[in-house]
């Protein structure tokens, strides 16, 4: 392991992580949560046609590799006249992919809420939509929080796949540096440590969030 290469390349790899990988994660996960909540609520409402469409979306996305989805959007769509730049393409694919997984998490959380919560909302004069958004959904989000945060941590690592569609994030930067210095072991261990650092920070945030939610529930 070349210590000098490690030191010289650290900031060069970290910077795309801070300016590309993390923003890509935050934007994609935020959109994924919107998709997940809508998809989960559609299934929870049990409207047959919409529920079937939601199930098909989840089935298709979870049944195909994320890398293949990236290639279809970035390299495949131009053949039918639809060209999307690399970063928007990555955001679209990560959002849709993560949305499918988080939708199942949210569906399970929604179904774990006692049916009496809906009835309680009706009893105080709330409509179905008001009851869902004021009573059921907040409780479901608390139940789903650990799993959703795990998905966020996984997404940070999955952004490395964006290098395959020319996004200059940490993996792409590492490859470019390696092409100049030929220190693959040093550089790939280094980028692995940076991903580990990001994941560790998020893990501590997750634990803090879980403690806050736990203390909130006690009160």
* 46 against 80, higher pLDDT: 80
What are 126-183's pLDDT values in tens digits?
Answer: 888 888 888 888 889 999 999 999 999 999 999 999 999 999 999 999 999 999 999 9
What are 35-54's pLDDT values in tens digits?
Answer: 999 999 999 988 889 999 99
Lowest mean pLDDT among 102-116, 120-134, 200-214: 120-134
- Tell me how far apart the alpha carbons of residues 149 and 206 are, in angstroms, rounded to a whole number: 6
Q: Which fold has domain 3-218?
A: MetI-like fold (1.10.3720)
CA atoms within 13 Å, Cβ hemisphere of 90: 24
Q: What is the mean pLDDT of residues 55-63?
A: 97
Map out the domains of the chain as residue ranges.
3-218
The residue whose two tokens read 């179905």 is 128
Residues with Cβ < 8 Å from 196, sequence gap 6 or more?
none
Determine how many CB atoms are found less than 10 A away from the CB of residue 8.
Answer: 12
What are 87-105's pLDDT values in tens digits?
Answer: 999 999 999 999 999 999 9
> How confident is the model at residue 113, as a pLDDT?
87
- Tell me how far apart the alpha carbons of residues 124 and 113 are, in angstroms, rounded to a whole number: 18
Q: Is the full-model pTM beyond 0.85?
A: yes
């Amino acid at each position: 392991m070349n210590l000098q290469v490690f030191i010289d390349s650290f900031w060069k790899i970290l910077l795309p992580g801070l300016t590309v990988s993390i923003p890509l994660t935050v934007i994609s996960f935020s959109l994924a949560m919107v998709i997940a909540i809508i998809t989960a609520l559609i299934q929870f409402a049990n409207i047959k046609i919409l529920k079937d469409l939601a199930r098909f979306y989840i089935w298709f996305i979870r049944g195909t590799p994320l890398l293949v989805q990236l290639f279809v959007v970035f390299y495949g769509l131009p053949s039918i006249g639809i060209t999307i730049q690399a970063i928007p393409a990555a955001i679209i694919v990560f959002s849709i992919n993560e949305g499918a997984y988080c939708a199942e998490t949210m569906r399970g959380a929604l179904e774990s809420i006692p049916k009496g919560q809906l009835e309680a909302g009706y009893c105080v004069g709330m409509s179905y939509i008001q009851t869902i958004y004021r009573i059921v959904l907040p409780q479901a989000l608390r139940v789903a929080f650990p799993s959703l945060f795990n998905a966020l941590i996984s997404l940070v690592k999955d952004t490395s796949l964006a290098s395959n569609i020319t996004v200059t994030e940490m993996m792409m930067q590492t490859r470019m540096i390696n092409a100049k210095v030929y220190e693959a072991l040093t550089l790939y261990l280094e980028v692995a440590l940076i991903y580990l650092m990001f994941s560790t920070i998020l893990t501590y945030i997750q634990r803090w969030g879980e403690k806050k939610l736990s203390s909130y529930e006690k009160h």
